[in-house]
Amino acid sequence: MKRVITAQDVPASGELRVPIGSIVTPSAREVAASRGVPIRELPEDQVSTLAPPDKTIAIGADHGGFTLKEALKPVIESLGLQIRDVGVHEEKPADYPDQAFKVAELVAGGKATRGVIIDGAGIGSSIAANKVPGVRAALCYDRASARNSREHNDSNILTLGARLLTQSQAEDVLRTWLGTAFAGGRHQARVQKIIDIEQRFLKSGPGSAQ
């Protein structure tokens, strides 16, 4: 089966190596060209594959969260995790629902174990991401909320408000969130009820879920 290379596979810099015969989408070629990233076709065994999903963190931001996103990426990498950066890649105005959806899609689709989304306040991105089935996005603002969202709610996306947190505070929240495991136990049944609500609407539609 041929591998399909999309815009989200294009790194922010460097070189994109793909197996010979891969299908590179037009959008991927456009993004690669805009970033000055050459695309090289190599034999499969010479291509450095993407990190497995359980070692991959999707990250995205609108223009208001761009600077903080760039500052937090080294923190994620220092923990031995690989980043899938869906943008933005500059402070040009962008709509937070677009970036939130890109991150949520990767997490819900199993291509990333968790995701981080940053906008001005973090609220809008949380709302948008939670519209994607399978996502449990949590807006966190300190270590306690980050820990709780993981231990109790098994959140798989963290949203941050760049205007509400200093870089140091955001780093603390991120490290705590990434370093906290879901506690399971009595919390598993409650998270399952969240999943059940989601499934009810998926099966019946909003108008039928009575």
Residuewise pLDDT in 10s, the chain (210 residues): 667 888 777 776 667 878 888 889 988 898 888 878 888 888 876 665 556 778 899 999 999 999 999 999 999 999 989 898 998 989 999 999 999 999 999 999 888 999 999 999 999 999 999 999 999 999 999 999 999 999 999 999 999 999 999 999 999 999 999 999 999 999 999 999 999 999 998 876 655 444
Structural domain contains residue 118 = yes
Same domain assignment for residues 13 and 75: no
For position 167, what pLDDT does the model report?
Answer: 98
Catalytic sites, residue numbers:
152
Residue 210 pLDDT = 46
Q: Could you tell me the residue range of the domain that residue 164 belongs to?
A: 53-179
Evaluate whether residue 208 is within a structural domain.
no
Rounded distance, CA 141 to CA 189, Å? Answer: 26
Q: What is the pTM of this model?
A: 0.77
Residue 87 lies in a domain: yes
Q: Are 160 and 74 part of one and the same domain?
A: yes
Looking at the fold, whether 127 and 172 belong to one and the same domain comes out as yes
Do 61 and 165 sit in the same domain of this protein? yes
Q: Work out how many domains the chain is built from and give that number.
A: 2
The verdict on 69 and 129 lying in the same domain is: yes
Q: Residue 69: which CATH number?
A: 3.40.1400.10
In a domain, 205, yes or no: no
In this prediction, residue 93 carries a pLDDT of 94
Quick check: is 184 in a domain? no
- The answer to whether residue 144 is domain-embedded is yes
Alpha-carbon distance values, 138 to 77, 95, 110, 142, 145 (Å): 21, 19, 18, 12, 9
- Same-domain status, 174 and 72: yes
- Both 76 and 166 in one domain: the answer is yes
117 vs 99: CA distance, rounded Å: 8
List the Cα angle 60/166/152 in 5-degree steps.
Answer: 65
The secondary structure element, H or E, covering residue 75 is: helix 66-78
Q: Are residues 103 and 24 in the same domain?
A: no
36 and 63 in one domain? no
